[in-house]
Each structure stands twice: as structure tokens, then as C-alpha cells.
Structure 1
Amino acid sequence: MQQRTVNCPQCGKELIWEPASRFRPFCSERCKTNDLSQWAQESYRISEAEKDPENTIPTEPI
């Protein structure tokens, strides 16, 4: 059976995807911690879905 490999999302290093990989999907604790740090510093953002003006509820009284 061929082993599944993935790239670390932080540094790009190729690693084997298996239960023994302690820091999946990262290659190391350093990459895992660096990724968490970037989330904490708001370097990453989840974009908001675009709103359809016809389907939005007005927030101001009419």
C-alpha cells in the first residue's frame, strides 16, 4: 500500500499522513505553533460571504 503524503501548510515540507504523525497536518510543533500565532495576530481572516441587497433585512427603521 502506498503511503499518503501531504505538504505542511506552514513550510511546505512533505510528510507522511498517518496516525503516528503527532502534529498533523503540520510537520512539527514549531509549524503548528507558528500557525496558531498567525491566527492570534489576525494575520488570517475568513472572508464574509457577499450579501444580496434584495435579501437583507434593513437595520434602520423605515
Structure 2
Amino acid sequence: MTKRCPICAAPAVRDHAPFCSRGCASRDLLRWLEEGYRLPGAPADPEMIDAAGAEGLDRRRDTD
């Protein structure tokens, strides 16, 4: 059974697996970067994100 490219369904190529070409691999990356792939769920609370980010910065300072 031949693996298929998840973007265009052409046969996958080992050098670009699981894609058929660099072009399809790039299109997939752009979808990730532009937030084209999303998981269903409630929207994130911006205040919680800011608080988590600040805590992460504090931890990094402690380890330096």
C-alpha cells in the first residue's frame, strides 16, 4: 500500500515524507504558522496566557 501525501494525495516521496514534495511540506508548515490547524475547545483566557508567560520568564531567570 502506497502512502499518500496529506496535502494533495499524490504518492509520498521518501525525501519529503510524509509529503510528495517540498512544496506540499511548505504548505503544511504555513498552515501551522498561520494557525490553520486548530483543536476544538474553548477560547484561551488572555490573562492566563500572560500569567503563564511571566512565570516561565521568572523560572528561566532563576536557572541562569
Whether TM exceeds 0.5 here: the answer is yes
Runs ≥4 residues deviating over 6 A: none
Identity %, equivalent residues: 37
Q: Deviations over 1:5-58 (max 9, x none)?
A: 111001111236xxxx1100000000000000000000101345xxxxxxxxxx
Q: How does 1:9-48 map onto structure 2 within 5 Å?
A: 9-15=6-12, 21-48=14-41
Bigger Rg, which one: 1
TM-score (norm 1): 0.57
Q: Specify every segment of 5 or more residues in structure 2 that has no aligned partner in the other structure, as ranges.
A: 42-64
**Between Structure 1 and Structure 2, which shows a larger proportion of strand residues?**
1
Q: Specify every segment of 5 or more residues in structure 1 that has no aligned partner in the other structure, as ranges.
A: 49-62
**Between Structure 1 and Structure 2, which shows a larger proportion of helix residues?**
2
The structure whose RCO (Cα within 8 Å, separation 6+) is larger is 1
Aligned residues: 41
